[in-house]
Structure 1
Amino acid sequence: MELTYLQTFREVVKWGSYTRAAEELGYAQSSITTQIQRLEESYGAVLLERYGRKMKLTIAGEALLQYANEIIRLHVESKEIVSKQSKGSLIIGTIETLAAFFLPPFLQAYRRDYPEINVNIQPANEPFIIESVKEGSLDIGLILDPPLTDPELHSIIVRKEELVIVAHPDHRFSALDNVQVQDLMRESLILTEEGCTYRAMLLKSLKDNQVDYQLSYEFGNLEAIKQCVIYGLGIALLPRIVVAEEIRKGQLTAASFIHPDCQFYTQLIYSKKKWLSKSFSDFVDLLSGSNHQNE
């Protein structure tokens, strides 16, 4: 039973709320409270304290969380071995771009070989994905970033992603094959949400080069950005894979964004502590091919 309590404890920590943890786990809130109380009795220490509307870890809770992550990881590993690795789950954290425009054909191929593996896709931004892979709440992260080097992670470069400035076909950029940061002077920009790494790169390059621009809109949704550009409300920096269909149909025009910092790669990351089951290794191989570039 204590393993269940540890899993409940991790959910409360994740959400900072007994109510949200109960919703995620399908328990009554009173059951969550009882499980945490029994866990605290077992360890003889207060693990969580209320700060405003959030539950926060005590020092004792922080210590236990590290062990809880490892215990649950080992439990999952043992279940995979016992069940001959043909069942289970694979939790993947990735950004919207890759979830929508890169992953689907690979998921289809993986499902043919592992029909009983439940693949759970969790959208998030890159910093959150990286930290979640480290702590073990995500098995795999797929990020779009400059090459990542981290002592706790394996990082495999899958492919380079071209970033383009997209505009309405009547825009002056339609006559250009590539665009530099100075060309963006006084343009109306439509940006992705904060936390997006290529947004941060673009804004930094504009600031460093003292390029004036107008911020027209910000969206956390790629389709909204594309539609606004199609309607001539501004230009946007996006990966080419996101707009390939609209370019083909003549709805958008695209020019490569040329800048020394514009070096972005689709990368697969996983913890160096991760036990590599056959089903896990096969998924990594499927995405990365035979030429792994571990960093």
Structure 2
Amino acid sequence: MELTYLKTFCEVAKHGSFTRAAEILGYAQSSITTQIQRLEESYGAVLVERFGRSMRLTIAGEALLPYAKSVIRLHEESKEIVSKQSKGTLSIGTIETLAAYYLPPYLQAYRQQYPDINIMLQPGNEPLIIEAVKEGTMDVGIILDPPFSDPELHTVVLREEELVIIASPEHRFSALSEVRAEDLSGEPLILTEDGCTYRAMLLKVLRDGEIDSKPSYEFGNMEAIKQCVVYGLGVALLPRIAASEEIRKQQLIALPFNHPACRFYTQLIYSKKKWQSKAFVGFVELIGEGNHQNH
């Protein structure tokens, strides 16, 4: 039985579509159909059935899926061992803030130690990153969350990340030493995108406190948020590292957000099933230097 068929089967299972699997794998749709049929002949069971407009796994298909993933994973491990671990790809899932303002010096140091490893940085929000690390489509995730734990994952707490309310220097907050939730009553808020953990925390704090907030803008781009704050269009809650340059240039002021829920940590996650190559261990050790705690 060809490994190719199992890879195709996993893609069909993931996307619920022969068409989408064909696009991702670069095959004609008829080729996908043939490969699944041959896999079914080999196992003597129907593995995929049509359900409405999509495809879904049968009971037999569900039983096969974890084995198919394991076979593919073992094949990747064997290739890396045979090639003496000198080449390959390390896929890192993280949020925009950490990709832009936290990771670059670590990536530079890693590249010097492992010049033949291709680093693939994949942006996303925390739920997507966590799921991808569990599924094995990302090697590691670097998230910004309250202390996180999951029975399937190892978590390395790297550092606490200070969250601040940023405002223009002319804003009334310039007279304060910190911002409390009630201070945000009636303030135009410039929010990060939906799915951002600290955005969800802020909105929950305001909702629970019955504080009248005014979300005015929402951006998936950190630079856009900061520019709107610079121009006095509102205030925003961001990690200090994301605005450190503008704070240094006195384009923005930054005040601690005083609330018990505002404790966020940069954390590295990877699957407990993950085979740990020399290059993988090298990355975990490099980024975990200094004070951290394993869970």
Q: Same fold (TM over 0.5)?
A: yes
Cα distance in 2 for residues equivalent to 1:95 and 1:3: 33
What residue is the counterpart of 2:111 in the other structure? 111
Are the structure 2 counterparts of residues 273 and 290 from structure 1 closer, same or farther at C-alpha, using a change threshold of 3 Å? farther
What residue is the counterpart of 1:269 in the other structure? 269
| AA matched with 1:102 | Y
Q: Does 1:227 find its partner at 2:220?
A: no
What residue is the counterpart of 2:175 in the other structure? 175
Shift of 1:33: 2.7
Q: Does 1:252 find its partner at 2:232?
A: no
What residue is the counterpart of 1:154 in the other structure? 154
3-state SS of paired residue (2:243): helix
Cα distance in 2 for residues equivalent to 1:136 and 1:285: 20
Shift of 1:165: 0.7
Are the structure 2 counterparts of residues 13 and 231 from structure 1 closer, same or farther at C-alpha, using a change threshold of 3 Å? farther
Gaps of 5+ in 2: none
Shift of 1:80: 1.7
What residue is the counterpart of 1:27 in the other structure? 27
Cα distance in 2 for residues equivalent to 1:231 and 1:29: 52
What residue is the counterpart of 1:85 in the other structure? 85
Are the structure 2 counterparts of residues 51 and 241 from structure 1 closer, same or farther at C-alpha, using a change threshold of 3 Å? farther
Give deviations 1:230-276, integer Å, cap 9, x for gaps: 22221111111111112222222211111101110110011111121
Range 128-137 or range 33-42, more displaced: 33-42
The answer on whether the counterparts of 2:159 and 2:292 sit within 8 Å (CA) in structure 1 is no
Shift of 1:158: 0.8
Cα distance in 1 for residues equivalent to 2:173 and 2:213: 16
Shift of 1:292: 4.9
Range 174-183 or range 18-27, more displaced: 18-27
| AA matched with 2:36 | I
Cα root mean square deviation, aligned: 1.8
Are the structure 2 counterparts of residues 50 and 233 from structure 1 closer, same or farther at C-alpha, using a change threshold of 3 Å? farther
Range 31-40 or range 120-129, more displaced: 31-40
Q: Which 4+ residue blocks in structure 1 deviate beyond 4 angstroms?
A: none
Are the structure 2 counterparts of residues 78 and 291 from structure 1 closer, same or farther at C-alpha, using a change threshold of 3 Å? farther
Cα distance in 1 for residues equivalent to 2:165 and 2:176: 10
What residue is the counterpart of 1:57 in the other structure? 57
Range 13-22 or range 79-88, more displaced: 13-22
Shift of 1:227: 2.0
Cα distance in 1 for residues equivalent to 2:280 and 2:14: 24
The answer on whether the counterparts of 2:158 and 2:291 sit within 8 Å (CA) in structure 1 is no
Shift of 1:102: 1.2
What residue is the counterpart of 2:69 in the other structure? 69
What residue is the counterpart of 2:127 in the other structure? 127
Cα distance in 1 for residues equivalent to 2:227 and 2:149: 36
Cα distance in 2 for residues equivalent to 1:152 and 1:163: 28
Range 63-72 or range 262-271, more displaced: 63-72
| AA matched with 1:232 | G
| AA matched with 2:49 | E
Counterparts of 1:159-238 in structure 2, within 5 Å, are 159-238=159-238
Shift of 1:83: 1.3
Range 70-79 or range 195-204, more displaced: 70-79
| AA matched with 1:18 | F
Are the structure 2 counterparts of residues 177 and 28 from structure 1 closer, same or farther at C-alpha, using a change threshold of 3 Å? farther
How many residue pairs get aligned? The number is 295
| AA matched with 1:247 | I
What residue is the counterpart of 1:141 in the other structure? 141
> What percentage of aligned pairs have identical amino acids?
72
| AA matched with 2:84 | K
Shift of 1:25: 2.4
Are the structure 2 counterparts of residues 253 and 83 from structure 1 closer, same or farther at C-alpha, using a change threshold of 3 Å? same
3-state SS of paired residue (1:151): coil
What residue is the counterpart of 2:12 in the other structure? 12
| AA matched with 1:242 | A
Normalising by structure 2, we get a TM-score of 0.93
Cα distance in 2 for residues equivalent to 1:133 and 1:255: 34
Cα distance in 1 for residues equivalent to 2:158 and 2:11: 32
Are the structure 2 counterparts of residues 5 and 285 from structure 1 closer, same or farther at C-alpha, using a change threshold of 3 Å? same
